[in-house]
């Protein structure tokens, strides 16, 4: 990292908007594997995080000289722990990661199953992938590091990954999933169906057809995406909408559940996000149409109105500031009828719904109602 960031981090101007955040500045470098010997030094060039996952890429130096590019993955396993607990088991000290590297040159794509090791220093499972484990000519590895190296070691080499690791600037995307060890430790008996944390029912949307609410537009991922690209420049016109019929409305007695109730969503960013953000999209509700009321569990969502006027709904009691507005009964996706506050919205209006909250939106006007929405995991 540029040493000038030390000055930026402590400057009064930075305290206003915090252009440098933890862990952008600190990568707990003293706990990377080879740092148990003073002969090794890491140059961590980039870091990305997604929920329980942290990925670092950079360079390893041995005795002051450049030695190898490396990729380090850390996984805190909260989701996999819960899956394994349901089977009355523990994760123990080892698990496996499915890793697919997707560099700019598709011919260098590669995937493998990699063993990860629990590290109490960081309270996470981790593994480092180096381009080589061979000591340079007239050099040798330190014994403290050498015992970590090798097949299935905490420092390992996978030959198929080398083309992607050779130029880290071109390694911008990867996909990961995590699997319980198929051997119980320390007893060694076989676990016939080990559990996976593969993003569970995670999916993303693509406009493959203009037929509304077709399964062709929903792509199941079964993995987590890490993206090292540093910036995006797009315009709303660059995107084609995915169309949905009767969004969040399936009850036969729901008067809004009509075949011509079709809304459009442009999925601006999805798997590109890190942290816990799931998507950022642009929604158009045509005149007379409705996005049905629904409840969020384990997620939070923010609507920000950018064009048109309409009616938003928040469940009665969810926001005390809305108590003075009219109460109406609305059908909730899969949950029957509930009381809601009917709230007028226009450009600049915001609807924010936490986990457990309920919301929806309707366009009673003769012009399109448009808003953007963020959704992210709440835990």
- Residue 275 sits in a domain whose CATH number is 2.60.120.10
Same domain for 156 and 268: no
Same domain, 166 and 235: no
* pLDDT exceeds cutoff 70 at 28: no
Q: What is the mean pLDDT of the chain?
A: 93
What pLDDT, on the 0 to 100 scale, is given for residue 3?
72
What pLDDT is stored for residue 22 in this prediction? 66
What integer pLDDT is reported at residue 248 of this predicted model?
86
Confidence of residue 266 (pLDDT cuts 50, 70, 90): very high
pLDDT confidence tier of residue 187, bands split at 50, 70 and 90:
confident
Q: Strand pairing partners for 330?
A: 338
Provide the pLDDT for residue 15.
77
Task: Let me know whether 370 and 226 are in one domain.
Answer: yes
Provide DSSP, 151-197.
TTSSEE--GGGHHHHH-GGG--EEEEEEEE-SB-TTT--B-SS--EE
Kindly report which listed range (1-5, 106-110, 205-209) carries the lowest average pLDDT score. 1-5
pLDDT digits (tens, 9 = 90+) for 190-200: 999 999 999 99
305-364 pLDDT tens trace: 999 999 999 999 999 999 999 999 999 999 999 999 999 999 999 999 999 999 999 999
Asked if the structure places residue 16 within a domain, the reply is no
Look at residues 26, 81, 25, 78 and name the one whose alpha carbon lies nearest to residue 53.
78
44 plus 86 within the same structural domain: yes
Domain count, the chain: 2
State whether 122 and 226 are in the same domain. no
pLDDT value of residue 273: 95
Q: How far is C-alpha 273 from the chain's CA centre?
A: 6
- The answer to whether the beta carbons of residues 5 and 17 sit under 8 Å apart is no
State which of 197, 219, 250 marks the end of a domain: 197
Range of the domain at 93: 32-197
56 vs 174: CA distance, rounded Å: 12
Instruction: Provide the sign of the torsion angle of the four alpha carbons 9, 14, 16, 22, taken in this order.
Output: negative
Q: Is residue 8 part of a domain?
A: no
Same-domain pairing of 192 and 105? yes
Question: Tokens at residue 285, please?
Answer: 């509700």
Tokens of 37: 């010997």
Q: What's the CA gap between 246 and 289, in Å, rounded? A: 9
Whether residue 41 is found in the same domain as residue 186 = yes
pLDDT digits (tens, 9 = 90+) for 67-92: 999 999 999 999 999 999 999 999 99
Please indicate, yes or no, whether residues 193 and 223 belong to a single structural domain of this protein: no
249 and 331 fall within a common domain:
yes
Which of 145 and 16 is assigned the larger pLDDT?
145
Average of per-residue pLDDT across 92-101 = 96
Q: Which of 162, 177, 197 is the last residue of a domain?
A: 197
Residue 238 shares a structural domain with residue 357: yes
pLDDT of residue 23: 61
Q: How many CA atoms lie within 13 A of 238 on its CB side?
A: 8
Report how far apart, in Å, the C-alpha atoms of 144 and of each of 34, 148, 149, 233 are. 8, 8, 10, 46
Give me 216's structure tokens: 């062709």
Q: What is the pLDDT of residue 18?
A: 74
């Amino acid at each position: 990292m540029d040493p000038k960031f030390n000055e930026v981090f402590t400057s009064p101007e930075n305290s206003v908007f915090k252009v440098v955040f933890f862990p952008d500045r600190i990568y707990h470098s003293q706990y990377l594997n080879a740092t148990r010997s003073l002969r090794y030094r890491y140059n961590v060039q980039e870091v990305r995080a997604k929920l329980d996952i942290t990925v670092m890429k950079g360079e390893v130096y041995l005795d002051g000289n450049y030695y190898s590019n490396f990729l380090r993955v850390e996984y805190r396993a909260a989701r996999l722990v819960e899956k394994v607990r349901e089977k009355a088991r523990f994760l123990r000290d080892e698990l496996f990661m499915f890793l697919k590297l997707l560099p700019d040159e598709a011919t260098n794509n590669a995937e493998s199953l990699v063993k990860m090791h629990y590290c109490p220093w960081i309270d996470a499972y981790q593994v480092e992938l180096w381009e080589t484990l061979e000591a340079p000519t007239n050099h040798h590895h330190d014994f403290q590091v050498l015992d970590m190296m090798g097949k299935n070691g905490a420092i390992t080499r996978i030959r198929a990954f080398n083309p992607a690791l050779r130029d880290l600037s071109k390694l911008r995307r990867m996909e990961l999933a995590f699997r319980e060890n198929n051997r119980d430790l320390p007893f060694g008996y076989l676990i016939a169906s080990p559990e996976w944390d593969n993003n569970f029912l995670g999916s993303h949307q693509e406009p493959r057809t203009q037929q509304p609410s077709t399964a062709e537009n929903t792509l199941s991922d079964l993995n987590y995406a890490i993206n090292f690209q540093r910036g995006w420049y797009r315009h709303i016109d660059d995107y084609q909408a995915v169309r949905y019929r009767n969004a969040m409305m399936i009850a036969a007695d729901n008067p809004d559940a009509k075949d011509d109730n079709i809304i459009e969503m442009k999925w601006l960013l999805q798997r590109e996000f890190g942290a816990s953000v799931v998507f950022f999209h642009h929604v158009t509700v045509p005149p007379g149409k409705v996005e049905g009321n629904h409840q969020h569990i384990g997620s939070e969502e923010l609507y920000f109105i950018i064009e048109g006027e309409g009616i938003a709904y928040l469940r009665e009691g969810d926001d005390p500031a809305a108590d003075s507005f009219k109460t109406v009964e609305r059908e909730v996706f899969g949950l029957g009828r509930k009381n809601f506050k009917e709230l007028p919205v226009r450009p600049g209006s915001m609807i924010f719904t936490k986990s457990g909250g309920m919301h929806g939106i309707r366009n009673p006007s003769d012009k399109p109602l448009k808003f953007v929405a963020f959704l992210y995991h709440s835990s």
